[in-house]
């Protein structure tokens, strides 16, 4: 397989507003690929198009060499949206079990996956509590655990660490790196530059356009600067 995700000439308009302008990118399997840009630059719109929750005005998206939307390809994606979609009156474990049931996992596998995912996001001691009692950061962690529940090949995470304290943020990034080592492909949006540093490859976006792309070290070398913030300023 050449690409885990391939975006070809994608444009998106909302009415007269042109939100994505001829986006092209390809994500190799086993990469952590970062989409970096300020709020309003079009990251979420692009993510929603990749996961089949919105459609491009023009262009084509392929996931695992299949044009989206396609049920099989979408089932290979774990998606963590920017806002949490959880059931407050159910416990963390019940929320995970609910989403696991959508993927028709065997009961024994489901149990294993819940234990694994809860542990990964450091929620094991809270999964029998109702989600309505969780803090914002705990809800983000539960959403990440749910994105992982069916052991997808591709993880798509929209601002996964917003509202999460620095220590846990670091541990989540360490886990993402472990998942990458297991062969997962991870697409992540962020506006935090030290998170961008941990990506294998970055595209910097502004006003619906990709300003520049490359590995963090290649970008810094190309623009002859010492940090990614300066790359962003120079590229723009």
- Which residues are near ligand ADP by CB under 6 A? 14, 17, 19, 37, 39-45
Least distance CB 210 / ligand ADP (angstroms) = 12
Least distance CB 38 / ligand ADP (angstroms) = 7
Cα–Cα distances in angstroms (integers) from residue 218 to residues 6, 36, 228, in the given order = 21, 16, 10
Q: Is the peptide bond before 9 cis (omega within 30 degrees of 0)?
A: no
Query: In angstroms, rounded to a whole number, what is the distance separating the alpha carbons of residues 75 and 96?
Result: 16
Least distance CB 208 / ligand ADP (angstroms) = 7
Residue placing its CB nearer to ligand ADP in the complex, 85 or 102 = 85
The answer to whether the Cα torsion of 121, 122, 128, 131 is positive or negative is negative
Token digits of residue 84? 């949490």
For 34, residues 6+ apart whose C-beta sits below 8 A from its C-beta are: 188, 189, 190, 195, 196, 199, 201, 202, 203
Least distance CB 150 / ligand ADP (angstroms) = 25
For 220, residues 6+ apart whose C-beta sits below 8 A from its C-beta are: 226, 227, 228, 231
In the complex, residue closest to ligand ADP by CB: 44
Least distance CB 84 / ligand ADP (angstroms) = 16
Least distance CB 12 / ligand ADP (angstroms) = 8
CA-nearest of 32, 123, 60, 56 to 86 is: 123
Question: Three-state DSSP class for 134?
Answer: coil
Residue placing its CB nearer to ligand ADP in the complex, 28 or 82 = 82
Residue placing its CB nearer to ligand ADP in the complex, 20 or 121 = 20
Token digits of residue 142? 């539960």
Residue placing its CB nearer to ligand ADP in the complex, 14 or 116 = 14
Least distance CB 205 / ligand ADP (angstroms) = 7
Maximum Cα–Cα distance for the chain, whole Å? 54
């Amino acid at each position: 397989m050449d690409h885990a995700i391939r975006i070809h000439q994608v444009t998106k308009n909302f009415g007269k507003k042109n939100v994505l302008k001829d986006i092209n990118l390809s994500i190799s399997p086993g990469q952590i690929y970062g989409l970096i840009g300020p709020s309003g630059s079009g990251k979420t719109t692009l993510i929603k198009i990749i996961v089949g929750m919105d459609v491009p005005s023009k262009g084509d998206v392929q996931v695992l060499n299949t044009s989206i939307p396609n049920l099989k390809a979408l089932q290979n994606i774990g998606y963590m949206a920017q806002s949490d979609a959880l059931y407050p009156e159910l416990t963390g474990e019940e929320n995970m079990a609910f989403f696991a049931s959508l993927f028709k996992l065997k009961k024994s596998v489901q149990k294993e996956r819940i234990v694994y995912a809860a542990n990964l996001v450091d929620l094991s001691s809270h999964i029998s509590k109702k989600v309505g009692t969780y803090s914002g950061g705990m809800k983000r962690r539960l959403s990440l655990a749910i994105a992982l529940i069916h052991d997808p090949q591709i993880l798509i995470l929209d601002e996964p660490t917003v509202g999460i304290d620095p220590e846990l943020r670091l541990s989540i990034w360490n886990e993402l790196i472990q998942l990458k080592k297991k062969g997962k492909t991870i697409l992540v949006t962020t506006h935090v530059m030290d998170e961008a540093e941990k990506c294998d490859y970055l595209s910097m976006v502004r006003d619906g356009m990709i300003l520049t792309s490359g590995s963090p070290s290649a970008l810094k070398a190309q623009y002859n600067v010492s940090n990614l913030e300066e790359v962003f300023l120079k590229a723009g």
